[in-house]
């Protein structure tokens, strides 16, 4: 499904990685590992198509992602360091808008159900500026529940989350893999997903 | 779960930006108050000579409109850029140009349309005739959306730069000149009894041209800024 061949990425004058090859198939999960500054985020952003690779090709279903564009984006869910939520909007509005931007029209009931599963019961209508860092992250992560994207690209999904939320994310990832989804993620915290083999890619 | 169409997404972006503007009302009001202040300062400074005021009315109103519509450009993309929403917009399953068009439309509704509505009231300070006011409003209606659209290109190009605000005005103001010339030209024409058709149709043509090209150019500029 996702095939990366001979990928190279440069930041400024610094070559982060080169000659990177891997294939990710349905139901597989891959952790990108490496020290700070080794290019994990750059790799994920390249896979999303924000940055054109210096060398190499990223192919989705056999076609270059830079030619697929919107077709690829429709199957992709990216969660970066930034939560992409607005302080002025409530958790509910934020979730419905971010689902809308990813092409899914979400009714209020489904959105509330998703927020409750993320442990935000009673906080649905509050403006997100009064929520804590971890709760905002939960609002952002609620997108995992509402889309039908095949490929999840998660950059440090566990930052600011407590133990309960980490367990919940592990559960969500396991469900996604069981539905033949694919996940690429980075994290510095241990993350165990039951029932699947975790592949890892070490950047150095 | 329903997949949304192009129109749904356009409406979503416009609605979202309008809701955000309503929750940050201070930002919207500063632009409007700036417009009112600048326009009102001229009669005070120049003095009460009616002939002179009438002559410069269109120019003053248009220049004030250019400046105040530029004031809010810096915020057009920067908030979305800083909190990561722009990344998500780039990953939307519809073209980025469409979302950009939505943002331009919302920007115009918040910072262009109110100027058009205020202009007739302010025009009275300059003793403009009803006819001239009418032409001024039509000109502003055609011209202010172009200001938002061209401004969006500048805002996208200067995204994430330090001191981008000054650079933005240097980039964008020269491009505003045609709208200023045709907009004030139309009012001058009607005051001296000439036809206004050529001026207004040129403004209309510029509007169509801007509608076709600026969303795409802005989207490309945003992609470059995001790299």
Q: What is the pLDDT of residues B125-159, one digit of tens each?
A: 898 999 999 999 999 999 999 999 999 999 999 99
| B150 in a structural domain | yes
Query: pLDDT tens for residues B68-127?
Result: 989 889 889 999 999 999 999 999 888 899 999 999 999 999 999 999 999 999 998 898
pLDDT given at position B186: 95
| B1 in a structural domain | no
Give DSSP secondary structure letters for B161-222.
Answer: -TTHHHHHHHHHHHHHHHHHHHHHHHHHHHHTT---HHHHHHHHHHHHHHHHHHHHHHHHHH
B88 and A85 within 8 Å at the Cβ level: the answer is no
Q: Is B94 an 8 Å CB contact of chain A? A: yes
How close A104 comes to chain B (CA, Å)?
5
Mean pLDDT of chain B: 92
Tally of CB atoms within 10 A around B83: 16
Residue A115 neighbours by CB under 8 Å, 6+ apart: A91, A92, A95, A121, A123, A124, A139, A142
Beta bridge partners of B104: none
Picking from A79, A86, A99, A130 by the largest number of B CB atoms within 10 A of its own CB, the best residue to mutate is A86
B12 and A101 within 8 Å at the Cβ level: the answer is yes
Picking from B18, B82, B87 by the largest number of A CB atoms within 10 A of its own CB, the best residue to mutate is B87
Domain range enclosing B52: 6-226
pLDDT given at position B1: 54
pLDDT given at position B60: 94
- A59: left (phi > 0), else alpha (psi -120 to 50), else beta? beta
| B198 in a structural domain | yes
Q: Into which CATH architecture does domain A1-75+153-204 fall?
A: 3-Layer(aba) Sandwich (3.40)
Query: pLDDT tens for residues A45-65?
Result: 999 988 888 889 999 998 898
Query: pLDDT tens for residues B197-220?
Result: 999 999 999 999 999 999 999 999
Give DSSP secondary structure letters for B83-149.
Answer: TTHHHHHHTSSS-HHHHHHHHHHHHHHHHTHHHHHHHHHHHHTTT--HHHHHHHHHHHHHHHHHHHH
User: ipTM of this model?
Assistant: 0.90
A102 and B23 within 8 Å at the Cβ level: the answer is no
Cα angle: A70, vertex A102, A191; to 5 degrees: 105
Q: Which two tokens stand for residue A116?
A: 């409750």
Alpha-carbon separation of residue A106 from A79, A148, B15, B102, B106 (angstroms)? 19, 12, 15, 20, 22
3-state secondary structure of B223: helix
- Which residues of chain B make contact with A82, given a CB cutoff of 8 A? 82-84, 87
pLDDT given at position B23: 92
Q: Which residue among B1, B20, B93 sits closest to A86, beta carbon to beta carbon?
A: B20
**From the centroid of its chain, how far is CA A82?**
11
Q: How many domains does chain B have?
A: 1
CA separation for the pair B86, B80 (Å, rounded)? 5
Torsion of CA A33, A35, A38, A40, to 10 degrees: 40
How close B92 comes to chain A (CA, Å)?
5
| pTM for this prediction | 0.91
């Amino acid at each position: 499904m996702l095939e990366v061949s001979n990928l190279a990425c440069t930041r400024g004058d610094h070559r982060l990685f080169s000659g990177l090859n891997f294939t990710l198939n349905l139901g597989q999960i891959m952790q990108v590992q490496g020290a700070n500054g080794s290019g994990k985020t750059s790799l994920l952003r390249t896979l999303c198509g924000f940055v054109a690779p210096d060398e190499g090709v990223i192919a989705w279903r056999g076609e270059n992602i830079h030619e697929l564009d919107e077709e690829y984006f429709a199957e992709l869910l990216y969660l970066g360091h930034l939560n992409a939520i607005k302080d002025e909007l409530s958790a509910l509005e934020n979730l419905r808008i971010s689902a809308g931007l990813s092409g899914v029209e979400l009714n209020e009931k489904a959105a509330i159900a998703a927020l409750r599963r993320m442990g935000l019961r009673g906080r649905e209508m509050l403006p997100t500026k009064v929520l804590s860092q971890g709760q905002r992250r939960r609002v952002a992560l609620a997108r995992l529940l509402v889309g039908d994207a095949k490929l999840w690209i998660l950059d440090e999904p566990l930052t600011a989350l407590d133990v309960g939320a980490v367990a919940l994310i592990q559960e969500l990832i396991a469900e996604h893999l069981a539905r033949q989804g694919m996940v690429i993620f980075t994290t510095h915290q241990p993350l165990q997903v039951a029932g699947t083999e975790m592949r890892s890619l070490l950047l150095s | 779960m329903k997949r949304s169409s192009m129109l749904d997404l356009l409406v979503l972006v416009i609605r979202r930006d309008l809701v955000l503007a309503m929750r940050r009302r201070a930002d919207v009001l500063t632009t409007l108050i700036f417009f009112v202040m600048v326009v009102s300062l001229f009669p005070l400074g120049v003095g009460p000579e009616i002939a002179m005021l009438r002559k410069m009315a269109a120019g003053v109103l248009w220049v004030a409109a250019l400046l105040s519509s530029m004031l809010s450009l810096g915020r057009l993309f920067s908030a979305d850029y800083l909190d990561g929403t722009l990344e998500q917009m780039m990953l939307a399953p519809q073209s980025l140009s469409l979302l950009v068009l939505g943002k331009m439309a919302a920007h115009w509704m918040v910072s262009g349309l109110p100027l058009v509505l205020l202009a007739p009231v302010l025009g009275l300070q300059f003793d403009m005739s009803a006819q001239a006011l009418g032409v001024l409003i039509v000109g502003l209606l055609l011209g202010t959306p172009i200001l938002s659209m061209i401004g969006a290109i500048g805002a996208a190009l200067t995204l994430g730069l330090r001191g981008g605000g000054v650079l933005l005005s240097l980039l964008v103001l020269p491009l505003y000149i045609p709208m200023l010339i045709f907009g004030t030209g139309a009012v001058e024409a009607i005051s001296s009894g000439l036809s206004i058709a050529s001026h207004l149709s040129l403004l209309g043509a510029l509007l169509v041209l801007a509608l076709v090209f600026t969303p795409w150019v802005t989207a490309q500029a945003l992609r470059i800024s995001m790299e």
